[in-house]
Structure 1
């Protein structure tokens, strides 16, 4: 705020600034009423004297620099803390089991809540394209995290519900999701041991019986003996079909288990990455703020 006179020069009206108790030139706040939304930080005052070509008399002016700051207690309890809790819920969504069927519903609900809070902030702040408010940056960061969590949740569900009839795990995917990432994330899997990014199968394998071959061109004078041999051979053929069927079922179940464990690995990786990202983002936003929540 600038105070001065264009009608009278400095010899007629000489504006001066009174010093406070400490000798500083500030605004007199003896009659100031405390405001619940704004807080006065400083009221620095400066006296300047200007000379113009038209006149030889000085023209003094007094400039008051009023530094005010919005109180953030309301925004902290009603916007920032709920958004932090919602972001933490988005992180905990990666710990939600995919078989429950509510994983994607939880993430989408959290995304809608963040969008609602962001719309409230946009209504509170005046529209401008030159600068973005810090609280707007905070909510944009939260919305980015939640949106990315929805995308990765869809990826996790896609991996979890894959079957050997529709998808085949390539060696690169097997190497990355079943060997390298579990070792880096210090994950454990029953029946397997990870040593230097390599997986060792510790399951006890039952030795298979040697294949029995029957010669159908058996010659025997006893017709009953030949009938028994042919009957045993037909039983053996049927048993081999049953064993092959159960071996296929076991193999398919193993492949499905590998896909489910791969989805679990992606879940764990997303949990750690998003946790680190949110912590770093919140610390960066807090450090860039002129003050903490008060």
Structure 2
């Protein structure tokens, strides 16, 4: 029993010594960390650029990591959730790890040391130029790494020509607000110009904009007043609209309107349902144009092809309905006034073959069952020109068909080319 007691006492003694040693080691680490912080930040002026010499600039390597992008179409403002990754060297924050127990890194607040005053030049929110969050920087023997998150809002003029399958290019320009190139030299991180896109923490993944590519470039600007350069970093985004809802709400109605319009042209000229079908196509076109007016942002620089298509379809359908109404007026009443002679000459010439009007030209002169145009009938009735006006109506109908088919084909080619 005495031996067991001695063993227990020995184990307790060893554990006590280990605990005391660990406490001493932990307190020593805190003491070294505090001592290093006091040594580095004592008399440190964060407003002074860490230049070695008067002409020696501080090289700041810049990169970005995109976490989310979405485009406000009504205001044409691009919102970006991103991380600015900045690295530079500050000799005032250099130390020898041997003097501090092997401590080789230190966390400091972003308001405790100097940092580059990078500002977004084309910021859309002029009341907020502080894009960065309150985050710490990591100092490793004079090398500073600062990765603040930022929410940037920039103006992005849109081109909606190929809406809703459009591609948009947006730009972000940023640089030092007060320092020139001989004080702060902006450069790429690891000589890379590609912008990385985060595959996680993307808070806006549900939005209908997908980032295709991104690049970062530097522009060196020189002015006649000053010999020193001024560096501007140019961040460019290529965005693609992705929204499955546009197919049933825009593309399918366009096909339906085209089909209804073609059905109207297929019906015979004297068919009473032509006006009904034409008015239906006219109503569908007006409803779709109203939907587009409520959906699209008001832009002065571009007009979507789909809007042009609906506008041209509206004109063609309205002309067709007018032709049908005029045709019924002519065929159901005695018309004693002939069409202009030059118009009749043109329509009975080679144009009649091109427009497939020979079936109508053969009846010209038989409107009142007489041999010649305008012949007075035996019962004394006034001459009639029904077939002459029927020829004019048929020609207008053929021209409307050609105009609609040409409009549809040209618009379809231009629209599908980018899909």
TM bin, normalised by shorter chain, reads 0.5 to 0.7
> In 2 relative to 1, CA 177–277 (structure 1 residues): closer, same or farther, beyond 3 Å?
same
Structure with the bigger percentage of strand: 2
Q: Which residue of 1 aligns with 2:252?
A: 81
- For residues 170-217 of structure 1, what are the alpha-carbon distances to aligned partners after superposition, in whole Å with 9 as ceiling and x for unaligned? 683894598446444344549x969xxxx899xxxxxxxxxxxxxxxx
Mapped partners of 2:209, 2:316: distance in 1: 32
1:27 matches 2:195? yes
Q: Which residue of 2 aligns with 1:119?
A: 290
Alpha-carbon distance, 1:38 to partner: 2.4
Alpha-carbon distance, 1:62 to partner: 2.2
Q: Which residue of 2 aligns with 1:40?
A: 211
Contact kept? 2:357, 2:395, Cα under 8 Å: no
Mapped partners of 1:51, 1:178: distance in 2: 69
Alpha-carbon distance, 1:125 to partner: 0.8
Q: Which residue of 2 aligns with 1:216?
A: none
> In 2 relative to 1, CA 26–138 (structure 1 residues): closer, same or farther, beyond 3 Å?
farther
Among 67, 70, 90, the alignment partner of 2:241 is 70
**Unaligned segments of structure 2, at least 5 residues:** 1-171, 367-376
1:143 is paired with a residue whose SS is: helix
Q: Which residue of 2 aligns with 1:6?
A: 177
Among 318, 329, 341, the alignment partner of 1:172 is 341
Mapped partners of 2:310, 2:398: distance in 1: 21
1:16 matches 2:188? yes
Mapped partners of 2:406, 2:399: distance in 1: 11
Structure with the bigger percentage of helix: 1
Q: Which moved more, 1:68-77 or 1:47-56?
A: 47-56
Contact kept? 2:323, 2:397, Cα under 8 Å: no
Alpha-carbon distance, 1:103 to partner: 2.3
Mapped partners of 1:145, 1:72: distance in 2: 30
Among 352, 355, 358, the alignment partner of 1:185 is 355
2:174 is paired with a residue whose SS is: strand
1:46 is paired with a residue whose SS is: strand
Alpha-carbon distance, 1:139 to partner: 1.8
Q: Which residue of 1 aligns with 2:386?
A: 259
Q: Which residue of 2 aligns with 1:146?
A: 317
Mapped partners of 2:260, 2:177: distance in 1: 62
**Unaligned segments of structure 1, at least 5 residues:** 202-245
1:132 is paired with a residue whose SS is: coil
Structure with more relative contact order (C-alpha pairs < 8 Å, separation 6 or more): 1
| TM-score normalised over the length of structure 1 | 0.59
Mapped partners of 2:282, 2:317: distance in 1: 6
Alpha-carbon distance, 1:124 to partner: 0.8
- For residues 136-181 of structure 1, what are the alpha-carbon distances to aligned partners after superposition, in whole Å with 9 as ceiling and x for unaligned? 2222122122222222222222222233xx5354683894598446
Q: Which residue of 2 aligns with 1:292?
A: 418
Alpha-carbon distance, 1:27 to partner: 1.3
| TM-score normalised over the length of structure 2 | 0.44
Mapped partners of 2:207, 2:393: distance in 1: 45
Among 293, 311, 331, the alignment partner of 1:160 is 331
Alpha-carbon distance, 1:119 to partner: 0.6
Alpha-carbon distance, 1:28 to partner: 0.9
